[in-house]
Structure formats: C-alpha cells, structure tokens
Amino acid sequence: MSFFRRPDYQSEATQFIEQLKAERPGLEARQREGRGLLWDKTIDREFAAEAEAAEVPQKPYVYQTNSDFN
C-alpha cells in the first residue's frame, strides 16, 4: 500500500444501500423480479412496425377542428 493512498471514500447513500442489502439479503432478487414485470419484455417487431405504419400525422395546430376558414 502506498504511503500517500487515501482510504476509499463511500458516500452516505452508498453506505445506506450497503447496509440495507446486508440487512435484507433477498432485496436484490425482489428488485430484479419487479424489473422483469415492467421492463424486461420481448418486443413483437412485426406488430411494432404495423403500429408505426398506422400512425396518423399530427396537424400543425392540434386544437383547430375545422380546416376551412369561411
């Protein structure tokens, strides 16, 4: 170890998270399960392409209901 080396710094947030993980060993597994429910999804690329092709272009002024100015 070097004479000039400082001790490793850990912020209060990092210390809190490490303490929480030590107190609750199954926490990370539950987080991964929750992420799997919301984010880790397989994408149907054919359906996504059809949905993108079916989009209707938005009018420049969305609140205008009538295009005639009579």
What confidence tens digit (pLDDT) does each residue in 30-55 have? 999 988 888 888 889 999 999 999 99
The pLDDT mean for the chain works out to 86
Segments making up each domain of the chain, as ranges: 23-54
Note the pLDDT of residue 21. 94
- Contact between residue 32 and residue 26 where contact means Cβ atoms under 8 Å apart: no
More confident residue, 17 or 65: 17
Distance CA 44, CA 32 (A): 22
Distance of CA 25 to the CA centre of its chain: 24
